[in-house]
Amino acid sequence: MSITTATGQSKADLLLARIRQIRLAKNEAKPEALVSLAPHQLTLDLSHGQAGCNYRCRGCIDNSVAGKNLVEMPQEIFRDLLDYAKINRLVGFMFYGREPLMHPLVNTFLNEISETELAVRLVTNGSLLRQHENALFAACAVQRGNGSGIRVSVNADENNYPRLTRQTNVALKMVLSSISSLVKKGALVGISTVVQGQSAGQLSNIGQLPEIVRLAKQAGASLISLIPYRNPESKKVFSYTPSETDFIKALAGEQGITLGPRFFSSQPVPEDNYDFPCLASLLAQAVIYPDGTIGGCTERRGEETAIIGQMTPTCSFSTAWHSQKRVRKQQEILKICQGKDCDRYHRVHVPILTGQSLEHFSNFI
């Protein structure tokens, strides 16, 4: 059984088995043992540069790494990656980076993936959902049964949305309406919220969480993903005050949510924490930037230390990936990654509608 044809628990079991395989190989510290291992999915940063996003959100972590010159992934690079994903039967693609729906060929990319068994995971500010509704539904319909889904960033309630995003409150209404439309069609859509405490200054939104959850429910979203706020420059996770921690826990109790200590940055993480899935899975993670640069970690965008390979007209993704040079560079990344400062370590996925299952979202990271 392949990962792409498995569904539900079978898919989760297969992915866990792959992670165990990576852990074993990593502990052996032999690059040759990892050269043949394909990544579990391909993460595409479709557009890099300030012009690659139509929002200018205050405190956006991407603002510190995005240049002013727009660079967009060409169709040739995408086709190379699509062929590789089909041949190696990967889980699928994650689209992220600035606003992926602004890419002029994004509908073409989504439609071509929807014709395969590959999954699509897409992170967006939601402002362009309506314009791309048909392509998004084709790629992220629940009936595809492969974990495809859309995650929409909503980090403020209606009263504070304009100040945070530099958009009008009408923009949020349009985002929520677009989510509802996609859900009614049968697409899987979730909402993510970066939880910003007192340490974030004027960006604090903890008091808005109950209203954000209400809006998510009203829109029909299948889950809400709570993400800790990080310093845009240092990437360090901000801590929460005791009162903020109590507030979030109380909200979780009201919503029937269980929040573990990881979310509050209170659990110590040793440097060699092989039980931390993110660190273990780094050796199967590929982030491809618009110019064909291959990165090894989504949390270290723009950092030279996170570059593990380069696609060129004469070097395909397969050639760049399946090399001992790539493996050695990824092993170096593992030495500098600290689980406690990775937002995936703290992220909490929360089902917010009774009767909705997280089965399809089990691999949507």
3-class SS string, 308-352: EEECECCECHHHHHCCHHHHHHHHHHHHHCCHHHCHHHHCEEEEC
Residue at 310 is within a domain: no
- Give me the CATH number covering residue 92: 3.20.20.70
Residue at 164 is within a domain: yes
Residue 230's alpha-carbon distances to 197, 304, 345, 359, in angstroms, are: 10, 20, 13, 28
Q: Is the pLDDT of residue 21 over 70?
A: no
Residue at 150 is within a domain: yes
Contacts with 57 (C-beta within 8 Å, 6 or more apart), sequence order: 63, 125, 155, 164, 165, 166
Q: Is the pLDDT of residue 355 over 50?
A: no
Highest-scoring range by mean pLDDT, 47-61, 113-127, 249-263, 337-351: 113-127
Residue at 66 is within a domain: yes
Average pLDDT over residues 218-225: 85
Q: Is the pLDDT of residue 299 over 50?
A: yes
Q: Is the pLDDT of residue 90 over 70?
A: yes
Higher pLDDT, 184 or 146: 184
pLDDT score of 223: 79
Among the ranges given (203-212, 335-344, 356-365), the one the predictor scored with the smallest mean pLDDT: 356-365
pLDDT score of 15: 56
**Interval 164-203: pLDDT, tens:** 888 887 899 999 999 999 999 999 898 888 888 777 677 7
| Structural domain span for residue 171 | 51-269+338-361
Q: Which amino acid is present at 287?
A: V
Residue 93's alpha-carbon distances to 146, 240, 248, 296, 361, in angstroms, are: 11, 33, 32, 15, 14
Average pLDDT over residues 312-339: 84
**Interval 23-47: pLDDT, tens:** 555 555 567 777 888 888 899 998 8
Average pLDDT over residues 10-32: 57
Q: In what order do the strands lie in the sheet with 41-45?
A: 307-310, 293-295, 285-288, 41-45, 92-96, 119-124, 149-153, 189-195, 223-228, 348-351
The phi, psi pair for 44, rounded to 5°, reads -110, 125
Q: Is the pLDDT of residue 267 over 60?
A: no
Percent of all residues in the chain with a pLDDT value above 90, rounded to a whole number: 35
Highest-scoring range by mean pLDDT, 11-15, 63-67, 200-204: 200-204
Report the number of distinct structural domains present in the chain: 1
Residue at 324 is within a domain: no
Higher pLDDT, 11 or 116: 116
What distance in Å separates the CA atoms of residue 10 and residue 109, rounded to the nearest whole number?
Answer: 27
Read off the pLDDT band of 97 (50, 70, 90): confident
**195 beta partners:** 228
Percent of all residues in the chain with a pLDDT value above 70, rounded to a whole number: 67
pLDDT score of 47: 80
**149 beta partners:** 121
Q: Is the pLDDT of residue 317 over 60?
A: yes
Read off the pLDDT band of 265 (50, 70, 90): very low
Residue at 311 is within a domain: no
**Length of the chain measured in residues:** 365
**227 beta partners:** 194
Which conformational region is residue 235 in: left (phi greater than 0), alpha (psi within -120 to 50 degrees), or beta? Answer: left
Average pLDDT over residues 334-354: 52
Q: Is the pLDDT of residue 353 over 50?
A: no
Q: What is the mean pLDDT of the chain?
A: 77
Higher pLDDT, 283 or 321: 321
Residue at 279 is within a domain: no
Q: Is the pLDDT of residue 74 over 60?
A: yes
Highest-scoring range by mean pLDDT, 139-143, 229-233, 253-257, 360-364: 139-143
Q: Is the pLDDT of residue 128 over 80?
A: yes
Question: What are the tokens at 73?
Answer: 């992934």
Residue at 287 is within a domain: no
pLDDT score of 358: 40
Average pLDDT over residues 133-139: 96
Question: What are the tokens at 125?
Answer: 């500010």
